[in-house]
């Protein structure tokens, strides 16, 4: 079993004091409430589901497009937490589907709706078709599920954002920033809170999760040595989301405070720590071919071939940030959680133009990436997007 905390350079959990200080209120609020978790079988969704489940909710329904991940989530919960007295059910549904709409129409009565569904990879912006799906999932499905929550009298809607929404340089981060603009409009009709946080260590599809896959498949490990990130554990991601959902005021965005516990660490440094923890020394290679060749012999010597390179792909930030200079912060309410306090500010003209443009493109079944990038610049004039023509899918 990996010690995730030590791999990301820490020896204690970030939010334990805040969770402890608010323990009784969290228990009371969860026990008396009903919850719908969307995107529940992803890494963050699973963590959030477990944080709610272990506090014995009155009703917990979870939805995800991945049938297999839902099955594993139930197995995990039964094996670790057991059972609750409340109504716990899973549904393998696509939020954008007619089946999901029928599901909401048949019930739809929840005190809290938490949306953790997203296309989260920067690599998803490489082609116009996956990029359009990212827009649909991250923005329009979110807006649709908020409208359904309003119609069904939901008390609070929570949606996860990303640190990459602060001064975005890639389309994924920008899509989440635009999502926040849509949330602002909906906040006139329902209470909404959200969270921006660091990379979730070893989440599905992440580079760190890829380390596990490379070891299992006896393949070299590759990581950038010039890209640094903040990391939280899966459990911490669930705690952050639940705290924002339960205690956030309308339009609040929660984020981890920067401290000596939370610091930037490079992917290459994590890779070295990871290999040490499983009994290997990292062996730096100069080329992909060298790394692929040495994997046949080096592991027998308790060494693992690694390719540590500088990043040159589209959409990568040198470091991550949780807020911009213009945003107003509350750093006093919690020990390890900061809050961005947003006043109501809605750019109706921009939002309508964005909606109309996307609907028009989708109706024609024709659009280009340049058109989408131009539209994103219209929505976010300070958008720092730079196209290098290189994407992670073209690298080892």
Give the pLDDT confidence score for residue 155 in this predicted structure.
97
pLDDT the model gives residue 230: 86
pLDDT in the model for residue 313: 58
Does residue 372 register a pLDDT over 70?
yes
Residue 395 has a pLDDT of: 67
β partners of residue 304: 282
Average pLDDT estimate for 23-49 = 97
Least confident span in 140-149, 205-214, 318-327: 318-327
pLDDT at 321 (0 to 100): 75
DSSP-assigned states of every residue in 67-134: HHHHHHHHHHHHHHT---SSEEEEEE--TTSHHHHHHHHH----SEEEE------GGGGSSHHHHHHH
Per-residue pLDDT band at 26 (split at 50, 70, 90): very high
In the prediction, which pLDDT does 123 show? 72
In the structure, what pLDDT confidence band is assigned to residue 294 with cuts at 50, 70 and 90? very high
- Asked if residue 112 has pLDDT above 80, the reply is yes
- Higher pLDDT: 339 or 393? It is 339
Q: Following DSSP, what letter does each residue of 224-267 receive, concatenated? A: ESS-EE-EE-HHHHHHHHHHHHHHPPTT-EEEEPP-SSS--EEH
Distances (CA, A) of 8 to 17, 18, 200, 267, 364: 20, 21, 10, 9, 46
Apex CA 24: angle with CA 156 and CA 254, to 5°?
A: 45
Residue 9 has what pLDDT? 85
Of residues 181 and 262, more confidence is placed in 181
Supply the pLDDT for residue 208: 84
pLDDT of residue 1: 74
pLDDT in tens, 225-248: 888 888 999 999 999 999 999 999
User: What is residue 258's predicted lDDT score, i.e. its pLDDT?
Assistant: 80
Percent of the chain with pLDDT strictly greater than 70: 93
Q: What is the pLDDT of residues 303-328, one digit of tens each?
A: 999 999 987 655 455 556 788 888 99
pLDDT at position 229:
85
pTM of the model: 0.90
Tokens of 117: 């569904």
Which of 32-46, 196-210, 211-225 shows the lowest per-residue confidence on average (mean pLDDT)?
A: 196-210
- 393/396 Cα distance (integer angstroms): 8
Across 221-226, average pLDDT: 92
Sign of the Cα torsion 173, 177, 179, 180 reads positive
What is the tens place of the pLDDT at every residue in 334-354? 999 999 999 999 999 999 999
Give the model's pLDDT for residue 340. Answer: 95
Question: Strand ranges (DSSP E) for 137-230?
Answer: 156-160, 191-195, 199-200, 221-224, 228-229
| Per-residue confidence band for 119, with pLDDT thresholds at 50, 70 and 90 | confident
Domain map (residue ranges) of the chain: 15-198+233-260+322-396
Mean pLDDT of 47-63: 98
Indicate if the pLDDT at residue 260 is higher than 80.
no
Find the mean pLDDT for residues 189-205. 89
Model pLDDT, residue 120? 76
Is the pLDDT at 24 greater than 80? The verdict is yes
Entry field: residues in the chain: 396
Q: Exposed, middle or buried by CB within 10 Å (0-12, 13-18, 19+), for 282? A: buried
Q: Is the confidence at residue 286, as pLDDT, over 80?
A: yes
In this structure, CATH architecture of domain 15-198+233-260+322-396: 3-Layer(aba) Sandwich (3.40)
More confident call, 265 vs 98:
98
The one-character DSSP state at 58 is S
Q: What percent of the chain has pLDDT over 90?
A: 74
Residue 392: per-residue pLDDT? 59
pLDDT at 250 over 60: yes
Mean pLDDT, the chain, as a whole number? 91
């Amino acid at each position: 079993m990996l010690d995730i905390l030590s791999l990301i350079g820490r020896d204690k959990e970030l939010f334990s004091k805040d969770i402890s200080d608010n323990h009784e209120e969290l228990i009371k609020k969860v026990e008396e409430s009903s919850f719908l978790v969307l995107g529940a079988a992803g890494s963050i969704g699973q963590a959030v589901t477990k944080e709610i489940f272990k506090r014995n909710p009155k009703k917990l329904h979870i939805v995800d497009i991945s049938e297999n991940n839902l099955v594993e989530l139930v197995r995990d919960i039964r094996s670790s937490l057991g059972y609750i007295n409340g109504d716990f059910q899973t549904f393998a549904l696509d939020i954008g589907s007619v089946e999901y709409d029928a599901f909401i129409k048949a019930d739809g009565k929840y005190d809290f709706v938490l949306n953790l569904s997203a296309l989260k990879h920067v690599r998803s912006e490489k082609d116009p078709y996956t990029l359009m799906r990212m827009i649909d999932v991250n923005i329009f499905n979110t807006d649709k599920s908020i409208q359904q929550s309003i119609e069904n009298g939901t008390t609070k809607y929570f949606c996860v954002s990303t640190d990459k929404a602060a001064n975005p340089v890639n389309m994924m981060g920008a899509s989440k920033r635009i999502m926040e603009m849509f949330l602002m409009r909906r906040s006139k009709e329902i209470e909404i809170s959200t969270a921006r946080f660091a990379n979730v260590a070893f989440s599905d599809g992440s580079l760190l999760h890829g380390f596990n896959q490379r070891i299992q498949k006896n393949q070299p490990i590759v990581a950038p040595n010039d890209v640094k990130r903040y990391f939280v554990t899966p459990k911490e991601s669930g705690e952050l989301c639940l705290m924002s959902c339960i205690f956030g005021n309308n339009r609040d965005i929660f984020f981890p405070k920067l401290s000596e516990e939370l610091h930037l660490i490079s992917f290459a440094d994590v890779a070295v720590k990871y290999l040490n923890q499983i009994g290997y020394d990292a062996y730096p290679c100069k080329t992909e071919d060298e790394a692929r060749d040495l994997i046949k012999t080096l592991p027998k010597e308790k060494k693992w071939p690694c390719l540590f390179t500088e990043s040159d792909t589209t959409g990568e930030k040198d470091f991550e940030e949780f807020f911009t200079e213009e945003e107003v912060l509350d750093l006093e309410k919690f020990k390890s959680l900061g809050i961005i306090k947003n006043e109501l500010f809605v750019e109706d003209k921009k939002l309508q133009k964005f909606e109309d443009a996307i609907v028009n493109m989708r109706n024609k079944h024709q659009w280009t990436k340049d058109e989408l990038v131009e539209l994103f610049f219209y929505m976010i004039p300070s958008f720092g997007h730079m196209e290098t023509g290189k994407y992670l899918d073209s690298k080892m």
